[in-house]
């Protein structure tokens, strides 16, 4: 049986995502895992607020924030990414989520980044929490780290969800949230 390079890469990306998912006990986070995710979320929140002060005002107005402290992506033609985080309402963790992504196209390399989704309306937050998996789409306004220092109510009052990608490291150019699927994981 002959396996093409593209087929081999596809199997590799699928295996990577399956391995990441199987690291979760029973499609959830074990008790030690929950503590680790919460610690990483705390560190990510602190980094975000200290490096991009405008996000503090944004957080104050948000109905909830999904912090994804570390998303890892790899790609060589076909690619994938995975990360875990927590949804916080009033700075209290209410749910844990995974973010998965599959890509195809001209890409090679790996990168890691953090991101946060600010749910600015009750409807946006409710739709996210009710959904059986939620895909980032057209209803998100993406902000850059440079905007993070100046994001405020006047620039965001019409956006139901604001996504901020920051802390990129690696060799794949650019990080976006398009095509990322968020799924609740049960501790």
Helix (H) or strand (E) holding 37: helix 31-51
Residue 25: other Cβ atoms inside 10 A: 14
Task: Report residue 137 CA to chain centroid gap.
Answer: 13
Place of tokens 């074990």: 30
Q: Which residues contact 50 (CB under 8 A, 6 or more apart)?
A: none
Domain ranges of the chain: 5-185
Residues 176 and 17: beta-carbon distance below 8 Å: no
User: pLDDT tens track of the chain, all 187 residues?
Assistant: 444 444 444 444 444 444 444 444 344 455 578 999 999 999 999 999 999 888 898 999 999 999 999 989 888 777 888 999 999 999 999 999 999 987 777 667 888 889 999 999 999 999 999 987 777 654 555 555 554 444 444 444 557 888 888 887 765 544 455 578 889 997 5
């Amino acid at each position: 049986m002959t396996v093409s390079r593209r087929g081999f890469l596809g199997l590799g990306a699928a295996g990577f995502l399956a391995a990441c998912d199987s690291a979760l006990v029973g499609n959830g986070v074990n008790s030690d895992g929950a503590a680790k995710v919460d610690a990483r979320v705390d560190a990510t929140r602190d980094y975000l607020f200290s490096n991009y002060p405008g996000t503090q005002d944004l957080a104050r107005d948000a109905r909830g924030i999904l912090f994804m402290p570390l998303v890892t992506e790899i790609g060589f033609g076909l690619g994938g990414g995975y990360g875990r985080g927590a949804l916080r309402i009033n700075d209290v963790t209410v749910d844990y989520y995974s973010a998965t992504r599959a890509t195809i196209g001209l890409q090679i390399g790996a990168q890691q980044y953090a991101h946060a989704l600010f749910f600015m309306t009750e409807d946006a937050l409710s739709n996210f929490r009710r959904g059986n998996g939620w895909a980032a789409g057209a209803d998100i306004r993406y902000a850059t780290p440079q905007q993070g220092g100046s994001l405020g109510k006047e620039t965001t009052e019409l956006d139901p969800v604001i996504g901020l990608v920051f802390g990129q490291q690696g060799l794949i150019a650019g990080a976006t949230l398009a095509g990322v699927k968020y799924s609740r994981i049960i501790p």
